[in-house]
């Protein structure tokens, strides 16, 4: 509990002052939200949240997501004052090169920053994924080892983004009772009052989605505290505490104005605000020692919780400890596969699906699901069980037709730790997931994206379902490894890569149609590309379902006296990580021709300016796959 109301108020005023000073110094940023949510932040951090500045990555810590990440100075101030690794110099250098205080929070668990929250709604949905991870692990390991909550600050902007509605629906449906969001209901957006665009009854909407809702004055710290305590008692529903706040609270001229949202208040307004608070005007970035003492004493609550958890770990059963260690293991995963015969024709979505039992046995944290397409994507771990309110230990999550939030929930589970999550849908619907996929790459979290029906050869569903530009578009995304396997053996290797990568996401693009199984080439996929057949007159290069096609083409050319080198290039990103010598050895010195059932954009990087790229630079058509193969270029 706070030492005194006066010290607590000084803590609130300090957060406001640091936010004003940092944004003014940077001449860039969002001071209004930190000032408006300072009372909420002080209440949560001083009275409730269990985190340990001495060990910020303690696995059973409470998770905190600042979904309205434009107000990042609120988080940076709290972390600095609480004794995490953010210095006052970091605060002074807000938004500057080399500082840990970026414009929007970027994931850094060592500093207490849980995730990247730039795009509104992503934090909301990612927090739901963290809560899914918590309840799943709690169900499997017991409350002695998993006993934390997920908190989030959210805004009007978060609630306007469609992803939040998707995620809120799932959170309510699954009854994630240890998820508590505090809503900054300041009724101001960049363009003015929310009245111009946002008039829904938020409490009624969330209640209808299965949430426990409360309304409080967002500047009444006792009321905020009571609402959080009440939320603790509701175990079968997530909680939304609607906090009526005033943006830029305390600023004489800019409180409750959109002008305070995304620009400095100005020196004169800062002076008047500090005078009104009774806070020293100079020097900037001043912090009273009592405020440091206030926050750092409050953090003893988390330190004590950490110590108690460590004792519970020591007292855990052998079974609990073994499962805990296997869930958090980083040992290499090797897959045997079910034994695909050379020549056997298997769609890569099907060969992928036949690996799931083995993956689940070797990776206890394997969890995920599809966007209502499990039968088509072949992504089922245990067909007899689905994750639900009544079976939280199940590993198959029915995400429903919610690709966007599915992506964010997968990210949340991956960020939480202890799990190896995936999300699956048709490749064309990766468009709906793209913001979450991009954040997985930006944050460097090991989310696995399984995308099936990867080309025009899904056939009769037509151009709305036929991905054309998607491979090129996703290959352009930094730190995302896109793997398009050519057969069952390459699919095994692709899954091994996905399960063993810990510093970023992997996407698997899988076929609907059958592909003949080739002789295995150990290590070829892990290098991104390899020689399937030697030849010296021309180099034919393909990915996925087009590798069998160029093998057939090589046979035809051989009949004409032309020897063709055949190269499978399942992962460009891994191929470009190899040495110049390796890449040159694989591609050879002969003229190069690429073949892929997608856009030719980007292939010049492989075939060179003198090479030839055969692909599809227009939308597809509705017809059987075999007919499309013949007619698509006619």
pLDDT value of residue 309 = 98
The dotted CATH code for 345-516 is: 3.40.50.970
Could you tell me the CA-to-CA distances from 565 to 27, 522, 559, 587, 590 in Å, in that order? Answer: 58, 18, 14, 8, 9
pLDDT value of residue 297 = 97
pTM: 0.97
**Tens of pLDDT, residues 362-403:** 999 999 999 999 999 999 999 999 999 999 999 999 999 999
Return mean pLDDT, the chain. 97
- Break the chain down into helix, strand, coil percent, rounded to 5: 45, 15, 40
pLDDT value of residue 4 = 80
Number of Cα atoms under 13 Å in the Cβ half of residue 483: 33
CB contact at 8 A, 34 and 71: yes
Number of Cα atoms under 13 Å in the Cβ half of residue 80: 25
pLDDT value of residue 3 = 56
Would you please indicate which residues are annotated as catalytic (active-site) residues?
Answer: 403
CATH architecture of 526-631: 3-Layer(aba) Sandwich (3.40)
Instruction: Look at residue 483 and give its three-state secondary structure.
Output: strand
pLDDT value of residue 119 = 96
pLDDT value of residue 633 = 66
What is the tally of helices (H) and strands (E) in the chain? 25, 19
Could you tell me the CA-to-CA distances from 627 to 89, 545, 623, 624 in Å, in that order? Answer: 65, 16, 6, 5
**Hey, CA dihedral for 435, 438, 444, 448, is it positive or negative?**
positive
Q: Kindly list the domain boundaries of the chain, sorted by start residue.
A: 5-306, 345-516, 526-631
**Domains 345-516 and 526-631 in one fold:** yes
CATH topology of domain 5-306: Rossmann fold (3.40.50)
**Tens of pLDDT, residues 220-248:** 999 999 999 999 999 999 999 999 999 99
pLDDT value of residue 53 = 98
Residues of the chain with pLDDT under 50: 1-2
Number of Cα atoms under 13 Å in the Cβ half of residue 57: 9
């Amino acid at each position: 509990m706070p030492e005194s109301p006066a010290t607590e108020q000084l803590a609130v005023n300090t957060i406001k002052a640091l936010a004003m000073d940092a944004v003014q110094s940077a001449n860039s940023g969002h001071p209004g939200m930190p000032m408006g949510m300072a009372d909420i932040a002080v209440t949560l951090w001083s009275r409730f949240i269990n985190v340990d500045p001495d060990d910020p990555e303690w696995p059973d810590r409470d998770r905190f997501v600042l979904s309205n990440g434009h107000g990042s100075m609120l988080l940076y101030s709290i972390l600095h004052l609480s004794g995490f690794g953010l210095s006052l110099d970091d605060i002074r250098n807000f938004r500057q090169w080399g500082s840990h205080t970026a414009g929007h929070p970027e994931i850094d668990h060592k500093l207490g920053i849980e995730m990247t929250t730039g795009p509104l709604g992503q934090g909301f949905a990612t927090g739901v994924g963290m809560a899914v991870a918590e309840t799943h692990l709690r169900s499997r390991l017991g409350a002695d080892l998993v006993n934390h909550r997920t908190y989030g600050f959210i805004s009007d902007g978060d609630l306007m983004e469609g992803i939040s509605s998707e995620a809120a629906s799932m959170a309510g449906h699954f009854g994630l009772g240890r998820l508590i969001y505090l809503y900054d209901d300041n009724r101001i957006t960049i363009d003015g009052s929310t009245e111009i665009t946002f008039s829904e009854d938020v409490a009624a909407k969330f209640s209808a989605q299965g949430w426990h809702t409360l309304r409080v004055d967002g500047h009444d710290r006792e009321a905020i505290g009571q609402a959080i305590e009440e939320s603790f008692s509701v175990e079968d529903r997530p909680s939304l505490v609607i906090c009526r706040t005033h943006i830029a609270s305390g600023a004489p001229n800019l409180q409750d104005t959109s002008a305070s949202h995304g620009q400095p208040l100005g020196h004169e307004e800062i002076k008047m605000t500090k005078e009104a608070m009774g806070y020293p005007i100079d020097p900037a970035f001043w912090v009273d020692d009592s405020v440091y003492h206030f926050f750092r004493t409050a953090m003893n609550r988390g330190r004590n919780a950490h110590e108690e958890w460590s004792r519970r770990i020591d007292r855990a059963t052998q079974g609990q400890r073994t499962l805990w260690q296997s869930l958090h293991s980083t040992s290499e995963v090797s897959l045997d596969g079910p034994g695909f015969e050379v020549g056997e024709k298997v769609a890569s979505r099907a060969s992928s699906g036949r690996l799931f039992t083995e993956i689940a046995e070797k990776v206890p944290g394997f969890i995920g699901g599809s966007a209502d397409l499990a039968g088509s994507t072949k992504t089922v771990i245990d067909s007899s069980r689905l994750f639900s309110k009544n079976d939280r230990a199940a590993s198959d999550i029915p995400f429903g037709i919610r690709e966007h939030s599915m992506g964010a929930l997968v990210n949340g589970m991956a960020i939480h730790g202890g799990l190896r999550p995936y999300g699956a849908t048709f490749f064309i619907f990766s468009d709906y997931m793209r913001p979450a996929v991009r954040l997985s790459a930006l944050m460097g979290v090991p989310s696995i994206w399984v995308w099936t029906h990867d080309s025009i050869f899904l056939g009769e569903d037509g151009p709305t379902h036929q991905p054309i530009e998607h491979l090129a578009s996703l290959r352009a995304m930094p730190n995302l490894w896109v793997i398009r396997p050519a057969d069952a053996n390459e699919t095994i290797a692709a899954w091994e890569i996905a399960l063993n990568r810990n510093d970023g996401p992997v996407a698997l693009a899988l076929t609907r149609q059958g592909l003949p199984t080739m002789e295995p080439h150990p290590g070829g996929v892990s290098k991104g590309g390899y020689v399937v057949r030697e030849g010296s007159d021309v180099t034919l290069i393909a990915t996925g379902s087009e590798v069998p096609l160029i093998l057939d083409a090589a046979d035809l050319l051989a009949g004409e006296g032309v020897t063709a080198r055949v190269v499978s290039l399942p992962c460009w990103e891994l191929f470009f990580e190899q040495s110049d010598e390796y890449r040159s050895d694989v591609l050879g010195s002969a003229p190069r021709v690429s073949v892929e059932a997608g856009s030719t954009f980007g292939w010049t990087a492989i075939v060179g300016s003198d090479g030839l790229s055969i692909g599809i630079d227009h939308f597809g058509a509705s017809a059987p796959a075999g007919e499309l193969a013949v007619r698509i270029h006619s």
